[in-house]
């Protein structure tokens, strides 16, 4: 068995004295693991940083075996943002969350969204909102997508301002008014309105996705939200 393609490195772990097992996200093969012999060498360590985009060839005798990767660098993303703690936190957040996808199931939308985020990492006015949309896509891919098409109470499709924390369905401003303290804020950019969101609105978006990530993914698996994600939230919520 053999296949090749591009992949984001999600994480690595030591294997034996000189080798590592890497977990990569590919567009057509989904999350895939494999052994890299000599992966702990001085040459390979910078390449095998979580978040880098690499070209991989996977080989195994049988499809269900762990298999062996050969890896070549494609985009050394980590090196370009290593001195910016928030951009690095964004990259770490998506690699950590993508590690929760089921293994060997294609998720091309998540792969493409990851590329989009990385393409905008140098622009602090764009990538935080892209991260929110990335998390919305992750929830949808895992079967927990939010229904923002219309108000759950009235059926209206305009002026959607909140989301039910229980059902994940949108609520319009009029219907939300008596229950605002029990509902989650729905930022306009998440609801599909044009225009650049403020930092406060992006933080609202992360709190919205964070609620459903915790409920449907973190808590059932007994894992915590990535600390780097919390770093981004604190940064966005700082007084300007």
Residue 44 near residue 12, CB atoms below 8 Å:
no
Within the chain, residue ranges assigned H as helices are: 77-81, 85-98, 108-119, 127-141, 173-176, 188-191, 199-213, 219-221, 227-236
- How confident is the model at residue 17, as a pLDDT? 86
Confidence of residue 63 (pLDDT cuts 50, 70, 90): confident
Segment 201-239, tens digit of pLDDT:
999 999 999 999 999 999 999 999 999 999 999 999 987
pTM for the whole thing?
0.94
Domain ranges of the chain: 2-79, 84-148+186-236
Q: How far apart are the first and last CA of the chain?
A: 55
Pick the CATH number of 2-79 from 2.40.50.140, 3.10.20.440, 2.60.40.420, 2.70.180.20: 2.40.50.140
Segment 92-147, tens digit of pLDDT:
999 999 999 999 999 999 999 999 999 999 999 999 999 999 999 999 999 999 99
């Amino acid at each position: 068995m053999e296949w090749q393609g591009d992949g984001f490195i999600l994480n690595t772990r030591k294997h034996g004295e000189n080798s590592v097992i890497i977990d990569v996200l590919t567009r057509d093969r989904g999350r895939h693991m494999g052994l890299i012999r000599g992966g702990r060498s001085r040459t390979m360590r910078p390449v095998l940083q979580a978040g880098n985009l690499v070209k991989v060839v996977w080989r195994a005798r049988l499809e269900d075996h762990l298999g062996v990767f050969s890896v070549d660098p494609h985009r050394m993303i980590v090196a370009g943002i290593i001195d910016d703690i928030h951009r690095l936190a964004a990259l770490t957040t998506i690699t950590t969350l993508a590690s929760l996808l089921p293994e060997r199931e294609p998720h091309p939308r998540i792969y493409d969204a990851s590329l989009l985020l990385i393409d905008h990492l140098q622009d602090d006015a764009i990538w935080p909102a892209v991260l929110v949309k990335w998390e919305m896509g992750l929830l949808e891919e895992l079967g927990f997508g939010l229904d923002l098409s219309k108000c759950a109470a009235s059926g209206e499709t305009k002026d959607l301002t909140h989301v039910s924390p229980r059902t994940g369905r949108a609520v319009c401003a009029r219907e939300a008014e008596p229950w605002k303290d029990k509902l989650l804020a729905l930022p306009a950019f998440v609801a599909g309105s044009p225009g650049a969101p403020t930092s406060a609105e992006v933080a609202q978006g992360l709190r919205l996705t964070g609620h459903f990530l915790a409920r449907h993914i973190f808590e059932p698996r007994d894992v915590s939200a990535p600390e780097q994600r919390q770093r981004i939230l604190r940064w966005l919520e700082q007084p300007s």
